């Protein structure tokens, strides 16, 4: 069985590497075109492309994937049974290519579908305070994340996860699931597809930098989840406002407290703790980053940016 792999960024390159190490036959890779990176805007190849070339796998980089392009890939890899694996490709797949491979397309999605369909399932899992998360391997349908489920695995959450740590856990689980499904297809015993129950559908739209501003009028729990969900990208931010300055500050880590009495956004530094008011309880801030500076502890931030004779607010 020959595999056509479609993906682009770092985590997708890691899955491609795992599939190759597991001795599956990856016959072709389709990824996004090279893009300008860095100060010099030099064209840089996607990590999936770099991984494929290390293993002498043919790479295709269409600006837009079409029936003609995909059919060309199939023609070039001859007539063995084929399957296409998709993880973080970055383009919508044309409906007319979905049945071209012998076994169609399969996709890894980092949620327990149909919960959190869309591009940011890990972020929204944390934002919602879900008690469990998971990874799903699905057949690819034209409507995004609506395909029949081939296999899934869930894990419990303890409420301390960031988007970064949860992403790492779920990709590890998901990579194993993909390899299990590929093995089943090779043995001629593919999993029985199970249609999704639409009544349990929720959506996970992409979070942009403009969505990352903290609303201090929300509850402490909502804000604490928000900070974890946006770490390491795009990172929750706020503006420090004092009589002498206004400064953008990014927040990486916070801790819930049972203290109250501060109005939303009001800052208080006492007993080596940096507290900020919310709609209910105060939130302790542990790691913050003023604009153009490194990440600071609460004590470092207070020493550098707060004055005893000035009131300070986050807004």
Class of domain 2-200: alpha beta
* Alpha carbon distance 115, 170 (integer Å): 15
Tokens representing residue 244 in the block:
């002498």
Give the mean pLDDT of 179-194. Answer: 98
Length of the chain counted residue by residue: 315
Whether 37 shows a pLDDT value over 90: the answer reads: no
Whether 39 shows a pLDDT value over 90: the answer reads: no
* Alpha carbon distance 52, 59 (integer Å): 7
pLDDT of 79: 73
The pLDDT tens digits for 255-269 are 999 999 999 999 999
Q: H/E element holding 170?
A: helix 163-186
pTM attached to this predicted model: 0.95
The pLDDT tens digits for 59-106 are 999 999 999 999 999 999 977 899 999 999 999 999 999 999 999 999
Beta-bridged to residue 46, according to DSSP, are none
Question: What ranges do the domains of the chain cover?
Answer: 2-200, 209-314
Tokens representing residue 88 in the block:
């973080």
Beta-bridged to residue 139, according to DSSP, are 106
* Alpha carbon distance 269, 254 (integer Å): 14
Q: Where are the beta strands (DSSP E) in 16-131?
A: 25-30, 35-37, 42-44, 59-60, 82-87, 105-109
Topology alike, domains 2-200 and 209-314: no
The mean of the pLDDT values for the chain is 97
Please state, as a whole number, how many other Cβ atoms lie within 10 Å of the Cβ of residue 252. Answer: 19
pLDDT band at 38 (very low <50, low <70, confident <90, very high): confident
Based on the number of CB atoms within 10 Å of its own CB, is 153 exposed (0-12), middle (13-18) or buried (19 or more)?
middle
Q: Tell which CATH architecture fits domain 209-314.
A: Roll (3.10)
């Amino acid at each position: 069985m020959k595999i056509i792999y479609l993906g682009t960024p770092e985590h997708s390159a890691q899955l491609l590497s795992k599939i190759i190490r597991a001795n599956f036959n990856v016959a072709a890779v389709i990824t996004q075109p090279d893009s300008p990176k860095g100060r010099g805007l030099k064209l840089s190849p996607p990590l999936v492309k770099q991984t494929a070339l290390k293993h002498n796998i043919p790479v295709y980089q269409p600006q837009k994937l079409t029936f003609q392009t995909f059919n060309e890939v199939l023609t070039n890899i001859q007539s063995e049974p084929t399957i296409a694996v998709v993880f973080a490709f970055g383009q919508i797949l044309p409906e007319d290519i979905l049945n071209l491979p012998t076994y169609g397309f399969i996709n890894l999605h980092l949620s327990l579908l149909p919960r959190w369909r869309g591009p940011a399932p890990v972020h929204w899992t944390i934002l919602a305070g879900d008690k469990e998360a998971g990874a799903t391997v699905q057949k690819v349908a034209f409507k995004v994340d609506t395909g029949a489920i081939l296999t899934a695995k869930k894990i419990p959450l303890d409420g301390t996860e960031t988007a970064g740590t949860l992403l790492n856990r779920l990709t590890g689980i998901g990579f194993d699931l993909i390899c299990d499904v590929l093995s089943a297809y090779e043995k001629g015993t593919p999993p029985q597809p199970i249609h999704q129950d639409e009544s349990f559908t929720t959506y996970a739209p992409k979070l942009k930098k403009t969505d990352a501003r903290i609303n201090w009028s929300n509850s402490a729990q909502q804000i604490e989840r928000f900070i974890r969900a946006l770490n390491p990208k795009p990172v929750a931010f706020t503006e420090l406002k004092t009589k002498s300055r206004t400064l953008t500050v990014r927040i990486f880590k916070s801790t819930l407290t049972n203290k109250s009495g501060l109005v939303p956004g009001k800052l208080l530094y006492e007993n080596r703790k940096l507290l900020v008011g919310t709609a209910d309880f105060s939130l302790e801030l542990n790691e913050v980053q003023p604009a153009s500076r490194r990440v600071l502890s609460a004590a470092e931030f207070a020493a550098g940016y707060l004055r005893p004779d000035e009131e300070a607010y986050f807004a």
